[in-house]
Structure 1
């Protein structure tokens, strides 16, 4: 076999391996962590980008579990649904099988974006699933979904990404998705550890 054919065979094997799926919370590859602070949510230890902050609890409760960076007060939310505030209240478990699948409340969600943080966002009017499957959080595979969300204020229309670990009951939601923040979220989640 020639060197070129050997390289082609290796490329095919790597491509097939990369395309195989793993059930929720199964093993997943992950690159090295980011060099910023860490957020701890349940058993999840998540590295944050340099300069980012994590608000475990805020006085008004609106920013509980929020990851913030720069002037954006809630780019993503990290929740342990076993210990969430009002854990006695009815919730919808995260699921890609319903329109607002990232939202655990029983009312309609608001359109949280970089320009409209919790408490200032208008109500959502619609949600369309764009992508779903499994995606890595550190060594685990989470149920993953991306929705296009329409809002009462059309300037707040956006996309929302969700990762759900049903056994750990950890929910990660990225608000106002855009390519630069998508890449940061993917890197953060790849560097996650559990313990």
Structure 2
């Protein structure tokens, strides 16, 4: 039970501004219920590990969901998971955690799970996405996240359901252990994510 829910939380993962209520799982451990920041007209400031960012106006952030599928998701309008902002410090410190470290040097480097990657898009949120069948790196290097330099990659992802083929962008801060993944990337979201990350601050 722990490894399944832990793996889901690792896939995409984070921290909150409001206090999280808890339920109890079948193994007796407390589990967080969904903790979502409200959508504000000027954008809300959220904390992900040591990183602090301001959401686009009207966007919401789910730090933790009960099933782990929406952990770290940014939501806008009908899009359930436009991008994920994850604090992987706990996951990467556990030698038994089922995790692949993010890397722009491998085909599915944006995917930290050890199971089969899925094609999360605007039309296919986590839990409903088709299996990813390919992931081709088309751009890599470094991009700024606030005053830090993140390992950056962009992949063209092919899916079992070809209508879900899309691009994925990733920023990985290996020292801070913060991962940002943008799903179904296109010009509008790219610009928002670039603005959000350029304005990031750290403590």
SS across alignment from 2:89: coil
Counterpart residue number, 2:81: 74
RMSD: 1.7
Counterpart residue number, 1:107: 115
Counterpart residue number, 1:182: 190
Q: Distance in 2 between matches of 1:84 and 1:155?
A: 33
Q: Distance in 2 between matches of 1:77 and 1:85?
A: 17
Q: Distance in 2 between matches of 1:115 and 1:66?
A: 15
1:39 to 33, 46, 54: 46
Aligned partners of 2:173 and 2:179 also within 8 Å: yes
Q: List per-residue Cα deviations over 1:44-103 (Å, max 9, x = no partner).
A: 001100100110001121100001111101000011111359954221100011100010
1:140 is the counterpart of 2:148: yes
1:64 to 63, 66, 71: 71
Counterpart residue number, 1:97: 105
Unaligned runs of 5+ residues in structure 2 are: 1-40
* TM-score, reference length from structure 2: 0.77
The structure that is strand-richer by fraction is: 2
Structure number with bigger Rg: 1
SS across alignment from 1:180: helix
Unaligned runs of 5+ residues in structure 1 are: 1-33
Q: Distance in 1 between matches of 2:91 and 2:180?
A: 13
Counterpart residue number, 2:139: 131
Q: Distance in 1 between matches of 2:165 and 2:72?
A: 22
* TM-score, reference length from structure 1: 0.80
Higher normalized contact order (CA 8 Å, seq sep 6+, divided by chain length):
1
Aligned partners of 2:91 and 2:97 also within 8 Å: no
Cα 1:73–1:85 change in 2 (3 A) is farther
